[in-house]
Structure 1
Amino acid sequence: MDLNSASTVVLQVLTQATSQDSAVLKPAEEQLKQWEIQPGFYSVLLNIFTNHTLDVNVRWLAVLYFKNGIDRYWRRVAPHALSEEEKSTLRAGLITNFNEPVNQIATQISVLIAKVARLDCPRQWPELIPTLLESVKIQDDLRQHRALLTFYHVTKTLASKRLAADKKLFYDLASGIYSFACSLWNHHTDSFLQQIFTGDEAAATNSLERTLLSLKVLRKLTVHGFVEPHRTVEVMGFLHAVFERLKQFLECSRSIGTENVCRDRLEKTIILFTKVLLDFLDQHPFSFTPLIQRSLEFAVSYVFTEAGEGVAFERFIVQCMNLIKMIVKNYAYKPSKHFEGTAALSSACFPILVGGGGAGKLASCDTTLTSNVFKKAILKDSSPETLEAHKIKTSFFTYPTLMEICRRLVSHYFLLTEEELTMWEEDPEGFTVEETGGDSWKYSLRPCTEVLFIDIFHEYNQTLTPVLLEMVHSLQGPTNVEDTNALLIKDAVYNAVGLAAYELFDSVDFDQWFKNQLLAELQVSHNRYKSIRRRVIWLIGQWISVKFKSDLRPMLYEAIRNLLQDQDLVVRIETATTLKLTVDDFEFRTDQFLPYLESMFTLLFQLLQEVTECDTKMHVLHVLSCVIERVNIQIRPYVGCLVQYLPLLWKQSEEHNMLRCAILTTLIHLIQGLGAESKNLYPFLLPIIQLSTDVSQPPHVYLLEDGLELWLVTLENSPCLTPELLRIFQNMSALLELSSENLRTCFKIINAYIFLSSEFLQVYSGDLCRSFCELLKDITTEGQVQVLKVVENVLKVNPALGPQMFQPLLPSVFRGIIEGERYPVVMSTYLGVIGRVLLQNASFFSLLLSQMACECGQELDQLLGNVIEMWVDRMDNITQPERRKLSALALLSLLPSDNSVIQDKFCGIINISVEGLHDVMTEDPETRTYKDCMLMSHFEEPKMTEDEEPPTEQDKRKKTLALKDPVHTVSLQQFVYEKLKAQQELLGEQAFQALMETVDAEIVTQLQEFLQGF
């Protein structure tokens, strides 16, 4: 591509590609796509985006195409890779001038230079780093900034490489430029501090931007550039300097107003300082040891003392708390402990809160004993570095320090803020959506404070338990509703007791506290007391799985029922959450809950209708689902209102796929509870299943997994096959083609259809067989087994026509047996399928045998002999007793026979038969007679325990099918006798005896023992 002539053409097409008119845009994009692989195209792009006289949008697009091209064509092994000559020219051109005037384009250029550096630096691009180092010294503000920006992105990219050789290169780079990076940072930092205090805001802004960029470079070099950074004086010097600079910047933030142009950048820089410390601690915990004391002193002083007042902003507080948390919880700082005696862990040294007459009392704790216990701790199997870090932590976290941290967390940070209280009033549903999941503690103040409290309380529970329980003791009895501060304090303390529930297990008699105080607090209906009602019901939810007597459940259900009628929506939503925790608990008993079921369900349904936010509706639906799941069929009388409402909710949630997922989950539990009665829901239910499992519909991305589960549950509980239910199966072919992680559920659905009605196979057996043939070409061993199990079920349900329906699959099964399939599970399934055909459709087996003999070029009898021989040889592959009995019945069905091959394999047939008898026969100790334990009677009633769920309609269908299955209807003992008797009559006594002599004498003895009485 000639640069001069090409530039004009490419520029014109790029201009068209920025158009808002799709008729102009689309052809331009297609043309650019074709040019991507043309030599010289990226040189033209470089000329265009470095020409500052051109339109910004065109230059921006040129940069993006260049950046994308690096990913696709820069590597030497890539298809249509750029030539080495062009790449050399491009590298030189990229770092000729750092003078891009547009910030966004400058950033993109820096990123694309970093992408090239990732692949070429330092081997093919040794001049990059020296050029950058020289450029950041230039006095020209624009060039200096752009070079520093590029320096940062290159450093960031090189630091992210993880191969050993790449890391070694980065270590070399870091050691070579670290001093320069430090001096650069110090220079810009000093300039900023001087300029901000002299009031030169423009110069200060420029210097602060450079301070931020140079600090970002140092962060990457410090964290990723050294194997043992604590051995490098400059690194440790920088880290210690971070604390001094942090103080200077915090004081600076105190002195300048919120309206100052530097304010936002200043706070970002302060946060970046803390990120340096957090990252270093995370990557190099032992190198961080010399910084532990200073970090704790710094963080605690700004977060838990007056030093931080007026200077510490929220994000900084979160970072400081995270620093404390990471030091407290760091496993590298925790030595192995072995305590002498059991006194250290005895609950005798814990204060016990014992309810009595509505007021609690505290048993005092001998702190001297506690201290001595820790002194007795023998630290074993710990490195000197761990012991040193532990020693620093222990010396810092003294009783007064821990007590102050605990008290400040609870009495200051746990208090509901004015903003939260306003949100409670104005947006109650938004207030209840707590940001506590995932990594929210890393960024948000409330979850951060709670996680820090939990970790510190866990680490120092013996010290902090008395402190917290003293706070609880001071709040015994009701609180004056006019005293807003007292209410907030009680809310905060109760929050702490809930968060520390597991740690307080031995220290709090929660049952007494519940009866003597908490229940009474739930009954205070004053509007100003709503924060306590909400907190107490939350607190009970935290303790349900920790310590709560089963006998108190009815009292709790009564309280929950009352609170579900509370005048405040937040209280009702929190109560619903506690109900879910209560019902979902291991000790939940249905009989205790049933008296409250109708009223609870009605109130939950009313709450579901009242809330408007998608997240809240999902939450209440999950509570309803949990209740339905736990009470199962007991829910049937009460679900009418929900059944009528769900179609409306489904329609309203068309744009909210996650809410629709919650509806699907609710329907799954609802169908399980309704059983056969779920057929009444089909007009609403089946279109939902159809939509959720149709891969041509966009919502399937969100709904498929739950939709398949709902489909399966619907089939399992269906009393009969309806035309609409049959029609949905049209979705299955596309689902099988996906071969996704949902394949197992798909097979279960297919099986459910097979058990449900013979009409299904008449309609879909052809499509299903074709899908299975395609699947078996490229599927795992487990997948093969699942497919063949479906075929086996078809043969069970329809032994007459089943083999014909799936005839295309059977030759490969037959071949697998003859060739001795090496996977035992697959071989077992092969033998199960062929065993069914042989036993229940002998005529089709003969046809299949003839087909395979022609295909293999063998005599019919020879092939049959090979099959029997392989069957006998691989009998041990079969582990299921049902299949082992099936094998015995199938091979015995070949008798009586005067075929020489079958008589030649007679010994093997008898061996398998005796093995089968050992598997299924049980001896009556009184009569000394044997009985086939697999035989099933029409008169057998299923024995169910209280914990078992009632049988589904599919369970009943399987039972009915089993009553027709030879494995469960034919006595193996009787069958062996009859076949041997028939063989004897066919051959005559003498020839039969000669045949029996081919069997091992021990096997014959065992056979005779089983056949006594015949």
Structure 2
Amino acid sequence: MTGQGLILALTNATSQTDETQRKQGEAELKSLSNSSGFLSQLLEAYQDSSLPVTVRWMAVIYLKNSIDNCWRKSANSNLLPEEKNFIRERLLPLSCQPFEPMLHRQLAVVVAKVAKLDFPRTWPTLFDELREAIISTASKNDSSSLYNILLTTHQVVKTLASVRIGPARAKILEIAPDFLQVTGDMFMHLMQNMSDDNLAIAYSALKATCTLIYDGHDRMHRFDTARSFFGKTLDMLVQLHSMWQSSHAEILGKLVRRIGKLYIRLLQKRPLSFCMMPRSMEIADFYEQFLISKGQEQLKASMNDDLSDEVEFYDLLAIQGMIVTRELLHVVTRDPHTATPALLPISMRPRDEQDRQDLINSYDIVSRDAFGREKLDKLVYSLISAWFQLRPADLELWKDDPEDYIIRDSQASVDFKVSSCAQALFYQLIKAFPQLAQDVLRYVEHVLQKDGTELPDVLELDGALQCLEYGAGTLVNHTALEPILEQALVPRLNAVSVDSYRIIRRRICLMIAAWVPIRSDENFRHFIYEMVSKQIFSSNPLNDLIVQLAGLHLLKVSVDDFDANVDEFMPYAEQNFEKIYELIGKVSTLEIKRLLLENLSVFVGALGTKLSAQYIEAILQILPPLWHEKTEDQLLKTVILQTLSSLVDATRDKSPVCYPLAQECLSVSIDPKSPFISYLLEDALALWRSIVVNATEPHPMILGLFPNLVDLLEVSTEHVGEELLILESYLKLEPSILSDSNIMLRIFNLSALYLPQASVEVALSLLSSIEVVVSSGVPVEAYGEQLAQSGLIPLLVDIALAGIIEGNVVAGIRAAKVYMVFAWLAFSSPSFFTHLLTEDQLMKITDGWLNIVASVAEPGDRKMNALGVSSLIYVTPILFLQNSQRFINMWTSILDEVREENGDAAAYHQVDSYPGEGDGDLTPETLRQRARRAQTPIHTVPTRNFLSQLTEKLRQDPQGVQVLANWQP
């Protein structure tokens, strides 16, 4: 019997009016959860129909949430095997009870969770029990119980079918083909005896069957049970569709969409199985004919509010049809006769000869039956003339709430909005079948020749322009856009003033934006700037918010293009900035403000150092109020950080004007305790680095942020690579940081922590930071003790020695960087360096070092390595005597290959600017780096003089005299 304490705790926890009582109940439940038999009592409470539904619901919810923590073998709980058996044995019998759907849905999840953990090892008979439960329940003519057991079956099947590896997956592969006959036959039986109850039950049976087909086995088309069921689905789909037309019953619509989901999921997960199933091309034809025949009808129906349910249903059906067609395109665009199997999607890669034959057959079937030329022409025409077009509801939203229209349009998913789905399908069709291009262009030309200005004419023109927009990648090879714009479209912008023509104004901007990345020269770009300036930003009343945002989008794409010439944009910059300022002041939604800021950020980044002081001042006035906007959506703040980063890059040596706002933004964004760090950190790090890179001096604000950087590195975020770049920039900006013993010990400890498991990129960033430390010119005494304490040196030794193994390129890259660190250390203080190593380590390092010097590609680095390893001879001459010929060969090579003038190897070491930087456009950090390098031994120590002094010392030893008898530097 269920304990009264548990019942009271459940009752308290369900309180909706007394928060104190609810929290007390939750605390009591947490306390009881540690007691033996807790889960069994929860199950008993669930099945006790004398208890209130809310109490039973809380019991099953708590049971569901406890499974993951208690049921596993590794769980630290009091759940004994006997109690598990007790619960498991009662789950399916309870699933056959006529409990309320709200309750049973939770129990179904409980069964699925247990099945996932116990099947097949502890619960091998699960599917036999499910089969027996379904059959016995169906014989009792109890619709509620049958609904519940089928709901449980679907939940179990869905959960287990999602398992990709392990014994459960192997068992599902074995069971699924036969078990789907149980659920499939039940579905067909219920559909033959239709009633409201039976249709709801059939829906659960259908869901389970569909899941078994597309997730149960990856070659389901080879099993008769699956083929038989699949072949019947088309007739069922047609029948259900016909019934829905008469009644508009919700359950019929759900059944129609669920069958469509079967086709889509099977095509996405197992395209070969779909194509090889019986009647698969009839299914494809059903959807294609639906799209062809229903488009215009849907367009007319959308104008009638009384048909809103019908419009929604057929739009969803159309989307499914477009996705089916799109997935079939993926099959037909990959010719197995020529495609490399490794380049095919994983779902299509053949594993054996039968798979390879299925792949060929699928391609042949789809090529022959799904995409005939006549059908293609009709399908494309339907997409353009009907499915592309804006609906009355769209136009009404445009007029009443333009900001909401923009938000919905920008967030529209391809698979959830019929026009977006149609546009995506058109793009893929014309890409896969470029022979359609001429027909599409003839249609566009035909529409452009019309001069009607009524709304249907405008929408038809909008559809034609969408062809040019979404087919740009293919049509660029068949036509030029400039004549169309200059002869047919721009004159209309001047001549036509009907209200609906704002649709065309917007579409022209979006269409041109699609062409800019694939075909844009300076003349075309100049035309764009002029057109937007005179046509879109003019005082014409048709240029509403939506039109002007489209114009800004076009400018953003044009300016952000790789080939864009900023000087061409400069005469138009002021107008564009003013337009953004104006719109930011007008709009009310944060989403639109974010879009405007994204444009602003791109323009700032494009202008760079050419950004005038008045623009900088205006931007710094706009951003703070936006930063303080109260919203749960952090995307606006991320764009502000991006804009501020672009502004810092643009202002360079004048960037301190950005520091007050940057400090405020960063204090929130980089604090590990901040609730916003997960949203803002990535963009905050980019801003942070821009500030340090562009600083001309170590400003107090910048230095004040440095401890936060070490804190972030210690919490091991996913952005370690970016954080290390900032660390490197700090070390270059203010070498005096090295004198802070606590900070340096933390940095060295972090390096030792991350290096063993770091990726190549992160490892090189870590080693670069260490190299900056040892090459900074700061005496080793400032940080040497911390370096020795950290345990980093033995790790570096291991990395260096691992790099001498032939064939391991990655290890060699890491090792080369480590030897560069050693070179700076050994040259600046050979006694300190040798003190860090054992005698055995020193011998091995020297041996590996002499091997690697010749392979260093950069002559300046090669010189530094030679100086470093040679400096060890001053402290340990035996190293030379044991490797004399190797040292002499290295010195000879260095003198031959590293050409110097007064010891300066500058001609070989100027790889320190960023891509795109000219000599007049270098960041302050790059200038610092060049100045610092100019003072290093690479540029100040003549190699010949160094070797002369070294060999003179060696000749003081008789052995040295003998070895060096025939060599002079």
Shift of 1:72: 2.5
The reply on whether 1:472 has 2:449 as its aligned counterpart is no
Measured at CA, do residues 332 and 224 of structure 1 come closer, stay the same or move farther in structure 2, by a change above 3 Å? farther
Aligned residue number for residue 213 of structure 1: 204
1:643-792 maps to which residues of 2 (within 5 A)? 643-652=620-629, 655-762=632-739, 764-777=740-753, 779=755, 780=757, 782=760, 786-792=765-771
Kindly state the Cα deviation for residue 521 of structure 1 after the two structures are TM-superposed.
3.4
| Per-residue deviation, residues 129-187 of structure 1 (Å, max 9, x unmatched) | 31233113321232222222223223333333333753453355444444443332223
2:289 and 2:11 map into 1 onto residues whose CA distance is 58
The match for 2:260 is: 274
Partner of 2:137: 135
Give the letter aligned to residue 45 of structure 2. I
Q: Deviations over 1:321-379 (max 9, x none)?
A: 222222233258745479xxxxxxxxxxxxxxxxxxxxxxxxxxxxxxxxxxxxxxxxx
- Confirm or deny that 1:17 pairs with 2:13: yes
Q: Which amino acid aligns with 1:186?
A: M
Alignment of 1:414-425 (within 5 A): 414-425=388-399
Contact 2:801–2:848 (Cα < 8 Å) also in 1: no
**8 A contact 2:402–2:545 mirrored in 1:** yes
Find the aligned partners of 1:25 and 1:999 in 2 and give their Cα distance.
90
The residue type equivalent to 2:945 in the other structure is Q
**8 Å Cα contact 2:634-2:680 kept in structure 1:** yes
Match runs of 1:824-843 below 5 Å: 824-840=812-828, 842=829
For 1:898 and 1:806, locate their aligned partners in 2 and report how far apart those are by CA, in whole Å. Answer: 20
Structure 2's unaligned 5+ residue stretches are: 302-309, 340-354, 804-811
In structure 1, what is the Cα distance between the partners aligned to 2:734 and 2:853? Answer: 33
1:607 paired to 2:583: yes
Question: Which of 690-699 and 748-757 deviates more?
Answer: 748-757
- How is 1:15-414 mapped onto 2 (pairs within 5 angstroms)? 15-19=11-15, 21=18, 23-26=20-23, 28-80=25-77, 82-97=79-94, 98-118=96-116, 119-120=118-119, 123=124, 125=126, 126-163=128-165, 165-192=167-194, 204-225=195-216, 228-256=219-247, 263-282=249-268, 283-289=270-276, 290-305=278-293, 313-331=314-332, 334=335, 336=337, 383=357, 386-387=360-361, 390-391=364-365, 393-395=367-369, 397-414=371-388
Q: CA deviation at 1:707?
A: 0.6
Q: Which residue, out of 574, 593, 596, partners 1:598? A: 574
1:622 equivalent in alignment to 2:598: yes
> Are residues 80 and 554 of structure 1, via their aligned partners in 2, closer, same or farther at CA, if it must alter by over 3 Å?
same
Q: Distance in 1 between matches of 2:908 and 2:416?
A: 65
Equivalent positions of 1:974-989 (< 5 A) are 974-980=945-951, 987=956
Q: Give the CA deviation at 1:300.
A: 2.6
Alignment match of 1:455 (pick from 407, 420, 428): 428
Match of 1:846 among 826, 831, 851: 831
Q: Structure 2 vs 1, CA of residues 484 and 976 (structure 1 numbering), >3 Å: closer, same or farther?
A: same
Distance (Å, rounded) in 2 between the aligned partners of 1:829 and 1:277: 54
The superposition leaves residues 854-899 of structure 1 with CA deviations (integer Å, 9 ceiling, x where unpaired) of: xx6x7xxx99777756644554575554443223334555677996
CA distance in 2, matches of 1:94, 1:945: 67
What RMSD in Å do the two structures reach over aligned CA positions? Answer: 3.5
Indicate conservation of the 8 Å contact 1:544/1:582, yes or no: yes
How many residues were matched structurally? 914
Provide the C-alpha distance between the structure 2 equivalents of 1:815 and 1:187, rounded to a whole number of angstroms.
74
- CA–CA separation in structure 1 for the residues paired with 2:365 and 2:28: 68
Q: Letter of the aligned partner of 2:160 in structure 1?
A: L
How big is the shift at 1:625? 1.7
Give the distance between the partners of 1:127 and 1:445, measured in 2 at CA.
43
Q: Distance in 2 between matches of 1:918 and 1:434?
A: 68
Q: Which is worse superposed, 951-960 or 784-793? A: 784-793
Using the alignment, how far apart are the partners of 1:788 and 1:810 within structure 2?
Answer: 16
Q: Percent identity?
A: 23
Per the normalisation by structure 1, the TM-score is 0.83
Tell me, in whole angstroms, the C-alpha distance in 1 between the residues paired with 2:908 and 2:262.
74
Q: CA deviation at 1:109?
A: 1.0
Structure 2 CA distance for partners of 1:274 and 1:317, relative to 1, 3 Å: same
Query: Equivalents in 2 of 1:877, 1:941: separation in Å?
Result: 21
Does 2:800 align with 1:809? no
Question: What is the DSSP-based 3-state SS (H/G/I as helix, E as strand, rest coil) of the residue aligned with 2:158?
Answer: helix
Partner-residue secondary structure (3-state), 2:775:
helix
SS at match of 1:545: coil
TM-aligned CA distance change 1:60 to 1:880, over 3 Å: farther
Give yes or no for contact 1:286–1:385 (8 Å, CA) kept in 2.
Answer: no
Residue 704 of structure 1 aligns to a residue whose secondary structure is helix
SS at match of 1:313: helix
C-alpha displacement of 1:421: 0.6
**Which structure 2 residues correspond to residues 828-907 of structure 1 after superposition, within 5 A?**
828-840=816-828, 842=829, 845-846=830-831, 849=834, 871-872=849-850, 875=853, 880-893=858-871
2:774 corresponds in structure 1 to 795
Which structure has the bigger radius of gyration? 1
Q: Indicate the residue corresponding to 2:348 in structure 1.
A: none
For 1:159 and 1:773, locate their aligned partners in 2 and report how far apart those are by CA, in whole Å.
Answer: 46
Contact between 2:332 and 2:363, CA under 8 Å: does it hold in 1? no
Residue number in structure 2 paired with 1:538: 510
TM, length-normalised to structure 2: 0.86
Cα deviation, 1:38-97, whole Å, max 9, x if unaligned, reads: 332221111111001112222112112222232233344544373332222212222334
The Cα shift of 1:569 comes to: 0.9
Give the equivalent residue in structure 1 for 2:307.
none
Distance verdict in 2 for CA 1:152–1:834, change over 3 Å = closer
Alpha-carbon distance between aligned partners in 1 of 2:213 and 2:792, rounded to the nearest angstrom: 62
Farther off after superposition, 881-890 or 209-218: 881-890
Report the Cα distance in structure 2 between the residues aligned to 1:767 and 1:940, rounded to whole angstroms: 30
Q: Specify whether residues 784 and 403 from structure 1 end up closer, same or farther in structure 2 by C-alpha distance, changes over 3 A only.
A: closer
Q: Distance in 2 between matches of 1:248 and 1:774?
A: 67
Does the C-alpha gap of structure 1 residues 786 and 174 become closer, same or farther in structure 2, counting only changes over 3 Å? Answer: closer
What is the letter of the counterpart of residue 50 of structure 1? Q
Question: Retained in 2: the 8 A contact 1:293–1:396?
Answer: yes
Residues 585/14 of structure 1: CA separation in 2 closer, same or farther (3 Å cut): same
Kindly tell me: are residues 817 and 511 of structure 1, through their superposed partners in 2, closer, same or farther at Cα, counting changes over 3 Å? closer
* Cα separation, partners in 2 of 1:891 and 1:473, compared to 1, 3 Å: closer
Partner deviation per Cα, 1:512-540 (whole Å, 9 max, x = no partner): 22332333234346243211111111111
Give the SS at the match of 2:473: coil
Distance 1:803 1:478, change over 3 A: farther
**1:241 to 1:456, Cα distance in 2 relative to 1, 3 A:** same
| Distance in 1 between residues matched to 2:496 and 2:74, nearest whole Å | 74
Paired residues of 2:729 and 2:925 also in contact (CA < 8 A): yes
Segment drifting more, 905-914 vs 37-46: 905-914
Change (3 A) 1:136 1:887: same
- Residue by residue over 1:902-955, the C-alpha shift from the partner in whole angstroms, topping out at 9 and shown as x without a partner, is 666665554443343344227xxxxxxx87561479999999988677111111
Q: CA deviation at 1:573?
A: 0.5
Alignment-derived partner of residue 920 in structure 1: 898
